[in-house]
C-alpha cells in the first residue's frame, strides 16, 4: 500500500518530505488533544497532524509535497480510532478543491486489489454539500441556525445526549452540527461520498467562499468513516489569528489548556502559493480496503495492549 502511494506521487512529481513529529507548538483546535512531553527548554507536543510543519515546508519549497508520517491524538481508542496512527498528507499548489478530490480518487484507483465496494462506486462518487443537505432537512443555513434550535434538534434525535453542554460559542455550534450530521443526515447519504461546503464554524484552516459563506473544505466518507479531509488552504495570517482566538475562547469555556499562537506557522502560511491540501488516514484506508470492521483487525500492534 505504502509503495503504491509513493509510486503514485513520484509519477506526478510530488516530492516526499519529512518533518518533525515533535514541536514547540501544539494544535489550537479545541477538540484535538496533543500528547505532551518535555525537555529542559520546556514543553513539546507530538503532532496531531503534519499540517503546520508541511505548510512551513511548502512556504519554503513552493512546490507540491507529500508526507507519510505518524500522528498522535490523545483520547479513547475505538473501532476507527487509535491514539497513534499513520497519516498521508499532501499539498498541491495551483489546484482547487475539485481537482484535489479527483486526485484522491485517482490515488485510490492505483492501489492494489480494490475491494468490491470501491470497484462498483468509484466511477460515480456522489458529492454532497453539507449546506444543502442540512438546509433540506432543517430548513435553515447551518451558519445561521440559532444555537437553541440546534440544541433542540440534538435532543430530538432519540438518544439521551449528555456529552454536550450548551456554550455560547462556535465550538458548540460545530459540535451540535457534527452530532446532527452523524445521527440524522449521514445515514441517508450512501456508503461512499464526498462532503463539501462545510459550515463556517468547521472551516478549521480552510478558505471561506465569500459568495456562499461555506468553508471550502471536503471530506471523503467511507461507510461512516472519515477517510480524508481536504482544504482550499487559508493563507491570511490575520484570519488564522482570528480563528486561533475563537478556539482559544472555546478552550477557556471548556477548561481546556490554552495553546500559544504559532506565529512561525501563520507567517509561513502567507508565503505559501495558493494551494489545496488533504490528509488521509492510512490505517483507516487499509481497514476499509480489506473490508475490516475495526482498526484492530488490520494492525499488528493494536492499542492499548501492544
Interacting residues toward other proteins by CB under 8 A: 29, 31-32, 75-79, 81, 158-164, 174-175, 178-179, 181-182, 202, 204, 219, 226, 229
Residue (of 34, 31, 30, 65) closest to 49 by Cα position = 34
| Least gap, CB of 136 to other proteins (angstroms) | 21
Q: Apex CA 19: angle with CA 17 and CA 20, to 5°?
A: 160
Q: Name the region of 58 (left: φ>0; alpha: ψ -120 to 50; beta: rest).
A: alpha
Place of cell 472551516: 203
* Contact by Cβ (8 Å): 47, 72: yes
| Least gap, CB of 79 to other proteins (angstroms) | 7
HSE-CB at 257 with a 13 A cutoff on CA atoms is 12
| Least gap, CB of 163 to other proteins (angstroms) | 4
Rank residues 32 and 189 by Cβ distance to other proteins and give the closer one.
Answer: 32
| Least gap, CB of 172 to other proteins (angstroms) | 9
Rank residues 8 and 34 by Cβ distance to other proteins and give the closer one.
Answer: 34
- List Cα–Cα distances, 143 to 170, 198, 236, in angstroms: 10, 9, 21
Rank residues 160 and 188 by Cβ distance to other proteins and give the closer one.
Answer: 160
Rank residues 175 and 207 by Cβ distance to other proteins and give the closer one.
Answer: 175
Rank residues 231 and 265 by Cβ distance to other proteins and give the closer one.
Answer: 231
* Order of all β-strands in the sheet with 192-196: 15-16, 65-72, 84-93, 275-281, 225-232, 217-222, 192-196, 127-129
Alpha carbons 4 and 111: distance in angstroms, whole number: 6
| Least gap, CB of 54 to other proteins (angstroms) | 17
- List Cα–Cα distances, 121 to 187, 191, 255, 278, in angstroms: 17, 9, 44, 21
Rank residues 183 and 209 by Cβ distance to other proteins and give the closer one.
Answer: 183
| Least gap, CB of 221 to other proteins (angstroms) | 11
Q: Backbone phi, then psi, for 205, in 5-degree steps?
A: -115, 35
Rank residues 58 and 154 by Cβ distance to other proteins and give the closer one.
Answer: 154
Amino acid at each position: 500500500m505504502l509503495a503504491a502511494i509513493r509510486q503514485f506521487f513520484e509519477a506526478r512529481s510530488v516530492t516526499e518530505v519529512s518533518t518533525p513529529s515533535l514541536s514547540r507548538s501544539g494544535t489550537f483546535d479545541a477538540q484535538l488533544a496533543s500528547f505532551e512531553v518535555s525537555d529542559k527548554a520546556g514543553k513539546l507536543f507530538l503532532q496531531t497532524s503534519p499540517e503546520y510543519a508541511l505548510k512551513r515546508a511548502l512556504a519554503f519549497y513552493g512546490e507540491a509535497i507529500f508526507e507519510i508520517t505518524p500522528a498522535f491524538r490523545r483520547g479513547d481508542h475505538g473501532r476507527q480510532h487509535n491514539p497513534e496512527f499513520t497519516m498521508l498528507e499532501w499539498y498541491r499548489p495551483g489546484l482547487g478543491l475539485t481537482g484535489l478530490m479527483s486526485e484522491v480518487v485517482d490515488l485510490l484507483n492505483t492501489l492494489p486489489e480494490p475491494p468490491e465496494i470501491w470497484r462498483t462506486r468509484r466511477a460515480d462518487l456522489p458529492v454532497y454539500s453539507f449546506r444543502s443537505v442540512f438546509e433540506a432537512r432543517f430548513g435553515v443555513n447551518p451558519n445561521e441556525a440559532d444555537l437553541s434550535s440546534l440544541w433542540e434538534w440534538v435532543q430530538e434525535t432519540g438518544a439521551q445526549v449528555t456529552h454536550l453542554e450548551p456554550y455560547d460559542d462556535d465550538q458548540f455550534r460545530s459540535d451540535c452540527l457534527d452530532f446532527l450530521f452523524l445521527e440524522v443526515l449521514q445515514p441517508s447519504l450512501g456508503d461512499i461520498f464526498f462532503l463539501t461546503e462545510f459550515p463556517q464554524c468547521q472551516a478549521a484552516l480552510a478558505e471561506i467562499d465569500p459568495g456562499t459563506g461555506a468553508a471550502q473544505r471536503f471530506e471523503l466518507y467511507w461507510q461512516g468513516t472519515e477517510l480524508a479531509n481536504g482544504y482550499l488552504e487559508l493563507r491570511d495570517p490575520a484570519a488564522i489569528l482570528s480563528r486561533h482566538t475563537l478556539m482559544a475562547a472555546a478552550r477557556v469555556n471548556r477548561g481546556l489548556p490554552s495553546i500559544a499562537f504559532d506565529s512561525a506557522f501563520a507567517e509561513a502560511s502567507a508565503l505559501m502559493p495558493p494551494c489545496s491540501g488533504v490528509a488521509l488516514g492510512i490505517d483507516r484506508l487499509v481497514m476499509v480496503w480489506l473490508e475490516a470492521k475495526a482498526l484492530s483487525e488490520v494492525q499488528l500492534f493494536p492499542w492499548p495492549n501492544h
